[in-house]
Each structure stands twice: as structure tokens, then as C-alpha cells.
Structure 1
Amino acid sequence: MWTAVIPLTLALVGQVAGQTVYLAGDSTTAPGGGGKGTEGWGQYLHYSMKIPVVNKAFAGRSARSFTREGRFDEIGKLLKKGDFVVIEFGHNDGTSNPDNGRSDCPGSGTETCNYTYNGSTELVHTFPYYLTQAATSFVSKGAHVLISSQTPNNPDESGIFVSSPSRFVSFAKTAATNAKVDFVDHSAYSYAAYKGLPVSVVDSYFPNDHTHTSPQGAELVAKAFVNGLVCGGSLLGGYVKNDTAAIERTCLK
């Protein structure tokens, strides 16, 4: 049960006219989700924000491939001073053999690997490295950056609630610390939102597989993100709309 322990409405601090929130992520965030009736949670964030949200997440991408394809650079070209960027990856960043063009180099620091992808050798960095570099670049342009941990896979798929976070959750926190930007543990807040629901309801939020959510599931994890945003005290939390005040919450430690 979520219980209200803090007021949702926060004072807007240092608001700049025309501010925008940009989202960078994979299919769990992106428009259309993973296809076949699924949706990304980023499509619901604008209902909770007083400023526009532009969803630049793209299905099938990892921190590495988002970087290689210039998608972080694309967001950087759009930024104005005072804008916000939310970065969330992890679902596609695991190791593959042969290399699928998405796998990051194992590790949490400056380790590098040489992978062969599409017939070419590519110098590959770690997950925290890619996120740190992107975040630092956005901050240099005057943007406020928030790194968010990935949404969890279906925690009730086995019939027994499992809340073991991916290693990329801690890697995301490492990147936020390295870049000196805000962090929201979207994974933990999503688990908390799922925990109080019947197994059948949670299962219904994953119509095709254990990763991609239905529109209803996407809306739930969007609200979980907002909970984490407000509870964490980040600057973006001050732009949450009053019409989400009905969301009861418990802030996680």
C-alpha cells in the first residue's frame, strides 16, 4: 500500500521559459514500446509534468548503440540552457556472442574491449562510461541531467515475487555519481508499485514477454518514476503537476 508521506506539489525553482524534458532510452521508454500492443513509460510522463516532454528513446538500443548512432548527439543539438534530460538504459546492454552491436564492455569503470560488429572492429566502453560521457556533455550545454535505473522485468513471472535488480541498476547509479547528476532508482520504485498487486494483474501488464509493458503497465511505471523523482528531491521533481496529487506514495530509503 502506498501512503502519502510528503506533499506532491513542490515549488518551481529557477524555472526557465520554454524548458523541455528530453528522454533517452530503449523500447521500455520509447513510443510504441516493443510493438504488438506494448508502450514505453516515457509516453505517459507528460501527464505528470508542467513542461513539455520529448521522447527520444528508441527501441532496441543500448547505451553503446545510442552513442554510436549519434542519438545522444541529436539530443545535445536540441538542448537549450535549463532543459532536462532523463537517461535510462540497461535492458539491451548485456553481453552477447557474437557481438550484436549493443553489448557494453564488462566492468564499471574505464575498461575497454575490441568487438567486431558488421565486419569492423569497434572500441567498446562500459555502461557507466557511456552514460557518464553523455550526461557530462549535456551538463556542459547547461542542461539538468537525471540518470534513471531501468524498469524491471515481470517480477511475478515465476508466480513468486522476485525483486532482484539487474547489475545495470548499480551501474546507472555509478554513472550518476561520476557525472555529478541526479539519480532515480526507477527499478526499485517500479518493484514497489508491482508488489501490492495480484499476480494476475502484474502478468497482464506484460502481454508478449517479460520485458515490454502494456499501456496500463507503462502508465504504472511512469507513475513509479514520478514517485522516485519527487521523493529524491531532484530539480525536475519541482515540475510535477498537481493532477498527480492523488498518487499515494511511500518514499523508499
Structure 2
Amino acid sequence: MWKAIIPLALAFVGQVAGQTVYLAGDSTTAPGGGGEGTEGWGQYLHYSLKIPVVNKAFAGRSARSFTREGRFDEIGKLIKKGDFVVIEFGHNDETVHTFPYYLEQAAKSYVAKGAHVLISSQTPNNPDESGVFVSAPSRFVDLAKTAAANAKVDYVDHSAYALAAYKPLPVQTVDSYFPNDHTHTAPKGADLVAQAFVRGLVCGGSLLSNYVKNATSAIEGACLK
């Protein structure tokens, strides 16, 4: 199914002029990841897109602290009509009832500026950490989906597509993608998670999927129902 979808997405891609993708998130997305030996998946997204990616994710941040520190506002000052913003949080969020609120407020503010917003569910922790594959999503996955629906913006279940990418791999391989802890990925893991995001992007039919490069057709895997 993936290979059948790629040509359809690419058919809409012409000469791209001036559009940019901005990323808002935590260390699982950010440059440098969560410390030595790790990297955020956002650093690999530009390999799959025809337009520039500016990674404004920052380690250790929740949706709340990203808001209070003015980081959403910083992106708001940069975006112009037609740009894209991908928002992904959850790993550092604790107060559940505030999480969707901050995502919705940021998304709505960007839409008001003419940007196309996509809320993405958080990446999963090491699903093979216990030696038995665990596919149960974080509680923030459903909350991210709710926030996207309330803000009337696109949604990618990054968690589900990342789990689908991990599942066929040997336990030792998955473990090697988490060198320091069960959250932050090594560069190879970050690359895999970025590919999973792009698969979810194209399968979901987001406008951003129209800017996926031909090289992404090499990403194997079916669309999830």
C-alpha cells in the first residue's frame, strides 16, 4: 500500500518556493537528542522533504514549559503564510488536563497566521526494554489526537508508526537504538523514527505529504488502519 500511495503524493509536488517546516518538541525531536550518543528524529526529517526543515525543538521541555518560555511564540514570529509546523510533545508532560490546552493554543495561533499545523503523537520508549515487546501507547498519545481534533489540524500517530517500525526488529537491535536510557535514540534509531513519521505523514494524507521526496519510497511498511 505504501508504494501505491507515494506516486499519488508526489503528483502534487511542483516547484517549491519559500515554504518551511518548523518543528516544536522535546529532546526526542531536538538537535543533540538527550545527550551524548543520541539524536532527535527531527534532525533526519529534511532528508525526506523537498522543503527546508527548521528544528526548534528543545530538550527537557513539555508543552507547558515550551509555552511559558516563549518558544511557541518564537516560532510564531518566524512563520509565514503557507509554512508548516509539526508539534510533538508528551515525554516531559505531567499535568494531563493542561497538555491538550497548550497544544491547541499553539496550533490555533499558527493557523491564524496562515500556517499548516500538524500535531504528532510522541515517540514510544524502548518497547523491548523488558525483553517482551510492549505496544501500549502513552496516555499522551490520545490526548495529542484530541488536541488535533479540537484545533481542527492534521494529526500523525507517530507513536503507532514508530512501534510498527520497531516490532519486526530483533530485541538486541532495538536495545542498541537506546544507548543511554529508554527514551532517547541513537542516530540510527532517530533515523528509523523519522522514517516512521514520514510513513504516517503520507498514509494520513496531510498536505505536508505532498512535499515528500522520491527517496521516501524506499521506506517499507503498510499504512496502519
TM bin, normalised by shorter chain, reads over 0.9
Aligned-pair CA distance for 1:15: 7.4
Cα RMSD (Å): 1.3
Is 1:28 the counterpart of 2:28? The answer is yes
CA distance in 1, matches of 2:50, 2:3: 22
Contact 1:16-1:82 at 8 Å conserved across structures: no
Q: Under a length normalisation based on structure 1, what TM-score does the superposition of the two structures give?
A: 0.86
Contact 1:13-1:235 at 8 Å conserved across structures: no
Contact 2:3-2:217 at 8 Å conserved across structures: no
Matching residue's letter, 2:181: D
**Structure 1 gap segments, 5+ residues each:** 95-103, 108-125
Is 1:249 the counterpart of 2:221? The answer is yes
2:86 matched residue in structure 1: 86
2:171 matched residue in structure 1: 199
Query: Aligned match of 1:235 in 189, 207, 211?
Result: 207
Aligned-pair CA distance for 1:88: 0.1
Number of aligned residue pairs: 223
Aligned-pair CA distance for 1:248: 1.4
CA distance in 1, matches of 2:3, 2:53: 27
1:61 matched residue in structure 2: 61
CA distance in 1, matches of 2:90, 2:76: 21
Alignment identity in percent? 81
Query: Aligned match of 2:153 in 181, 192, 215?
Result: 181
- 1:43-95 per-residue CA deviation (whole Å, 9 max, x = no partner) reads 0000000000000000000000000000000000001100000000000002x
Is 1:213 the counterpart of 2:185? The answer is yes
Contact 2:16-2:50 at 8 Å conserved across structures: no
1:110 matched residue in structure 2: none
CA distance in 2, matches of 1:12, 1:166: 34
2:116 matched residue in structure 1: 144
**Structure 2 gap segments, 5+ residues each:** none
Is 1:155 the counterpart of 2:127? The answer is yes
1:7 matched residue in structure 2: 5
CA distance in 2, matches of 1:15, 1:70: 34
**Deviating runs (4+, > 4 A) in structure 1?**
13-16
Contact 2:30-2:59 at 8 Å conserved across structures: yes
Aligned-pair CA distance for 1:229: 0.1
1:242 to 1:5, Cα distance in 2 relative to 1, 3 A: closer
CA distance in 2, matches of 1:245, 1:5: 6
Q: Helix, strand or coil: the match of 1:191?
A: helix
Higher-Rg structure is: 1
Q: Helix, strand or coil: the match of 1:6?
A: helix
